[in-house]
Chains A and B, each alone.
Chain A
Amino acid sequence: MSNVTYASINDDILHSMRPPGKTWFASMAIILTMLGMGIFAFGYQIRHGMEGSGINNPIGWGVYITNFVFWVGIGHAGTLISAVLFLVRAPFRTSIYRASEAMTVFAVMTAALFPLIHIGRVWNFYWLIPYPNQRLLWVNFKSPLLWDVFAVNTYMSVSILFFLVGLVPDFAVVRDESKGLKRLFYGIAALGFRGTNHEWKHYMRAYLLFAAIATPLVFSVHSIVSWDFAMSSIPGWHTTIFPPYFVAGAIFSGCAMVLTLLLPLRAIFPGFKDIIKMKDMEAMAKMIMFTGVIVTYAYSIEFFIAYYSGAKYEKALFWFRPFGELKFFFFLMVFCNCVSPLPLWIKKIRTNVPALFLISILVNIGMWMERFNIVVTSLAHDFDPYAWGSYTFEWVEIWITIGSFGWFSMWFFIFVKIMPSLAVAELKEALVPPMRSAHHE
């Protein structure tokens, strides 16, 4: 960061927060159209019931639960980057963690919508929460679905708090660089932060504790999501490999989404290229390579377990996945998750922006397909051949899925314009401080 100084970091951040231009408004128009499609389809579903989705008997969980697991997975990488990499002092974290954290918050906000959309009678969602009610009954604490309510809500609360606490010193920067109403707005958001030693002392200790607390949460949330499946007796779901397999898959997809978001961000704001360096992007590519290998191993071992266990229902299901009527989704998953990241082992490719962007998109598609395969194929092909079924996508669930991408992107676009998308204080901390003497203390 030879050209980067304390002052230039402030200038670059403020540049990114200037009033949006035509490209931003054009992108936002597309995003809002997508969101509008989703809202319309959801309205239709409320009016007409679940007939608009492909959910049927026996496939009671379809695209909505696939979307839920997909978005929770996307939300994984942000906290991994901000908390786990903070604890291990990974150097590439500083430039990318703010945008990744924002991605986490918005992805979990998106994920949290899907159980509500999936239950159909959305107005009864509060039945999931333990509260004193007229019928004098309580929720079932022995159900993994209820554990998931606690896990996702805790994860969302902690991610939001971690994100907002990290923003406070940077809001103070924007406040001090602004005038008028903008100064007032950011002054309120900065909670009077001035950068005194009394503030930094407690702030840094609390931030470290947040990171320490969030680290086991990163691993617990997707483990608990995996128990939604693994605690049942359905072939293809009832397996002990699920928690680590889900966590690795979540990091895989989350890192891919970080690249999908940060590569354009880096291209749009030229000042960011000095801060978000290619080697930071390369480090993310290496995480994709590493977790991609774990995911490939998990896919293989699932087949091996089905063969070695001698359980005929497992064998039948794992024959159905590559050779049954839903085989297209299986092979698309294998191509996107196992084959497409392989070129990243070549340095030239993992330092090439268009190649990285393309691979990140393919991984995102692949990870959606993985969740679809897990959710749908297992339900389509369980114990009794008489009860086997198939799945057809319906327009309502497709529109709602498109709408979820619109919802996520809308928040991210707003974030880029109203919040510092790089962590100002931490970037400054990573610089060699201004010294009169030549040697750094």
Chain B
Amino acid sequence: MSKQFSGVWATYEFLDDFCGAIRELRDSGFQRLTTLAPCPRHEIDHALGNPQSRVPFFTLAGMFCGFSLAFTLMTFMSLDWILPVSGKPIVSFPIMGPVLFELSVLCAVWFTLISMIGLILNDLRKHGMPGSKQWKSYRRFTRDRFGLIVPCTQHDLDKVEGILNKFSAEEVNREA
């Protein structure tokens, strides 16, 4: 993926410059942006148009799976080995409450985790990353700098670079 990357990446010191550049790029038709930041910032989300994650659907699915698993497990086991306790029904729904809850929670959490990893990998696969040495050795995005990757054709390189510089980018690097 990195070998095929064509575009520009830039670094910013200030968040307002960075968000300004994102907005202008999106207004100019560059929608497939990748940003890098030391922490999540709602200003960046707003500039990117508030993208939504699909993780909650998987969490809900996990909860249903856990609930069904617990119900099936307890019903099957209670009927397979009849163990009368204090005259209570052999398959008793109220008594299933704690285990139904716990397994629903457990499966929901695992589904959330696995779906989060899967969705991240899927998104990263779709968005190219620069492959140059300079990119690989740059380590300040987890420290105190904001980064912007703009995939574009050779034809658009000048235009993108112009926008990035207009918002006082600290460094602008072309990769083609």
Binding site for B on A (CB under 8 A): 5-7, 10, 130, 136-142, 144, 146-147, 150-151, 154, 157-158, 161, 165, 169, 172-173, 175-177, 191, 194-206, 209-210, 213, 216-217, 220, 224, 227, 424-426, 428-429, 433-437, 441
| Contacting residue for B139 out of A157, A176, A227, A436, CB 8 A | A176
A203 and B16 form a contact (CB under 8 A):
no
B55 and A205 form a contact (CB under 8 A):
yes
Q: Chain B contacts of A5 at CB under 8 A?
A: 144
Docked CA distance A197–B43 (Å):
12
Q: Chain A contacts of B120 at CB under 8 A?
A: 198-199, 202-203
Docked CA distance A429–B43 (Å):
11
From 19 to 37 in chain B, residues with beta carbon under 8 angstroms from any chain A beta carbon are: 19, 33-37
Supposing A142-B88, A206-B113, A220-B102 touch, asked if A433 and B119 sit within 8 A by C-beta, the answer is no
Residue of A with least CB distance to B122: A198
**B99 at the binding interface (Cβ < 8 Å):** yes
Number of residues of chain B lying within 8 A (CB) of chain A: 64
**B142 at the binding interface (Cβ < 8 Å):** yes
| Contacting residue for B106 out of A157, A203, A204, CB 8 A | A157
Q: Chain B contacts of A434 at CB under 8 A?
A: 13-15, 144
Docked CA distance A227–B37 (Å):
47
Supposing A6-B38, A195-B142 touch, asked if A142 and B109 sit within 8 A by C-beta, the answer is no
A158 and B55 form a contact (CB under 8 A):
no
Q: Chain A contacts of B113 at CB under 8 A?
A: 161, 165, 206
**B74 at the binding interface (Cβ < 8 Å):** yes
Docked CA distance A195–B115 (Å):
18
A251 to chain B, nearest CB (A): 19
A195 and B36 form a contact (CB under 8 A):
yes
Supposing A130-B77, A198-B120 touch, asked if A437 and B139 sit within 8 A by C-beta, the answer is no
Docked CA distance A435–B117 (Å):
32
A-B contact pairs, 24 of them (CB 8 A): A6-B144, A7-B144, A130-B77, A140-B83, A141-B74, A142-B92, A144-B98, A173-B143, A194-B141, A194-B142, A195-B39, A196-B124, A197-B36, A203-B116, A203-B120, A205-B52, A205-B116, A217-B105, A424-B39, A433-B43, A434-B13, A436-B17, A436-B168, A437-B16
Q: Chain A contacts of B51 at CB under 8 A?
A: 197, 201
From 105 to 157 in chain B, residues with beta carbon under 8 angstroms from any chain A beta carbon are: 105-106, 108-110, 112-113, 115-117, 119-120, 123-124, 127, 139-144
A214 to chain B, nearest CB (A): 8
A435 and B16 form a contact (CB under 8 A):
yes
Binding site for A on B (CB under 8 A): 13-17, 19, 33-41, 43-45, 48, 51-53, 55-56, 59, 73-74, 77-78, 80-81, 83, 85, 88, 92, 95-96, 98-99, 101-103, 105-106, 108-110, 112-113, 115-117, 119-120, 123-124, 127, 139-144, 168
| Contacting residue for A425 out of B39, B99, B109, B144, CB 8 A | B39
B124 and A195 form a contact (CB under 8 A):
no
- What number of A-B contacts does a CB cutoff of 8 Å give? 185
Docked CA distance A197–B53 (Å):
11
Q: Chain A contacts of B77 at CB under 8 A?
A: 130, 138-139, 141
B116 to chain A, nearest CB (A): 4
A441 and B15 form a contact (CB under 8 A):
yes
Chain A interface, >50% SS class: helix
A213 and B16 form a contact (CB under 8 A):
no
Per CB-CB distance, the 6 closest pairs between chain A and chain B, nearest first, are: A198-B123, A138-B77, A205-B53, A428-B39, A6-B144, A206-B116
Q: Chain B contacts of A217 at CB under 8 A?
A: 105
A296 to chain B, nearest CB (A): 29
Supposing A150-B98, A198-B120 touch, asked if A213 and B56 sit within 8 A by C-beta, the answer is no
B80 to chain A, nearest CB (A): 6
A138 and B81 form a contact (CB under 8 A):
yes
Supposing A425-B39, A425-B40 touch, asked if A433 and B53 sit within 8 A by C-beta, the answer is no
Docked CA distance A157–B113 (Å):
12
B147 to chain A, nearest CB (A): 8
